[in-house]
Amino acid sequence: MKKIIEINNISVDYDLEDDQEPAINNVSLDINENEFVCILGPSGCGKSTLLKAIAGFVKPFKGNVLMNGVEIIGPDKLRGVVFQEPNLFPWYNVFQNVAIGPKLGKTSKIEINRIVDKYLAQVELLEFKNAKVFELSGGQKQRVAIARTLANNPEVILMDEPFGALDSFTRQKMQTMIRELWNKNNATIFFVTHDIDEALSLATKIYVMRSGEKSIVMDYDLNYTFRLLKNPKERVYEEKEFILLKDEIISLLEE
């Protein structure tokens, strides 16, 4: 398995002068090609900070983050980011929002069209190509944001609670969609969530972060996502093993 991201014992502090604890402490993990990594932990434990360190938005004061062996020193389109808020340009239509990345290169118009159509089809929004942003629902906007990220062909996709603002029904549909997109595009995903069911049903690997340590305290290898790929309706949530694992993680987070 090819290692894409290597995080070596990083600590991040937003303000080294104040006497607050660092936002994350001594975090180490790898992200391998084709993995679906979930970071799971309560609010404030440092999930977003870890994601920002990988994106290159913040710099660790200790340790380093490598991508393909090279230290990350700032943002790069090789690492696509999807936030909880879709952050679309309201004066652009759906097509124009997704075309932003492809248009930055020397890509021909025909090729830009092909790329945008491909990813709008994947998020089932092809017929909304000319729609204005304000005409879309919350879930549709987030699908545009995902298509926009995919259109940049990133090597790794970083997602920070991307479905956190959606109702539970839309959220479930989005989970099925992201699992299928991950599989179809042979993508590598780093996904932040505080939702245990979401993490268990999407991840090939879960890292649990705790507020006390502001660090990773446990990791799990999982295969529910492969089973749900085969049959999205399989009731893995009701299995004894699933419930026990969930209980174990809850008690870990309560400690």
Ligand X SMILES: Nc1ncnc2c1ncn2[C@@H]1O[C@H](COP(=O)(O)OP(=O)(O)O)[C@@H](O)[C@H]1O
CB of 101 or CB of 162, closer to ligand X: 162
Q: Binding Mg ion by CB under 5 A: which of 48, 140, 201, 204?
A: 48
Contact between 23 and ligand X per CB under 6 A: yes
Which alpha helices (DSSP H) does the chain contain, by range? 47-55, 94-104, 109-122, 138-150, 168-184, 196-202, 224-230, 240-254
For residues 7 and 67, the answer to whether their CB atoms sit within 8 Å is no
CB of 15 or CB of 238, closer to ligand X: 15
38: its two tokens:
């979930």
From the CB of 218, what's the least distance to ligand X, in Å?
A: 16
Please state whether beta strands 156-160 and 79-82 pair in parallel, antiparallel, or not at all (unpaired).
parallel
From the list ligand X, Mg ion, none, partner contacted by residue 23 (C-beta under 5 to 8 A by kind): ligand X
Count of chain residues binding Mg ion (CB under 5 A): 1
From the list ligand X, Mg ion, none, partner contacted by residue 14 (C-beta under 5 to 8 A by kind): ligand X
Q: Transcribe 39-87 into DSSP letters.
A: EE--TTSSHHHHHHHHHTSS--SEEEEEETTEE--S--TTEEEE-SS--
Contact between 166 and ligand X per CB under 6 A: no
CB-based contacts of 248-254 (< 8 A; 24+ apart in sequence)? 249/40, 249/196, 249/206, 249/208, 249/218, 250/196, 252/208, 252/210, 252/217, 252/218, 253/41, 253/42, 253/208, 253/210
From the CB of 3, what's the least distance to Mg ion, in Å?
A: 25
Q: Binding ligand X by CB under 6 A: which of 14, 89, 226, 237?
A: 14
Contact between 196 and ligand X per CB under 6 A: no
Three-state DSSP class for 134?
Answer: helix
E strand or H helix at 89: none
CB of 51 or CB of 123, closer to Mg ion: 51
Q: Return the range that interacts with Mg ion (CB under 5 A); candidates 33-41, 48-56, 58-66, 242-250.
A: 48-56
Give residues 32-51 in contact with ligand X (rule: CB under 6 A). Answer: 41, 43-49
CB of 15 or CB of 221, closer to ligand X: 15
Q: Interface residues with Mg ion (CB under 5 A)? A: 48
Q: Interface residues with ligand X (CB under 6 A)? A: 14, 23, 41, 43-49
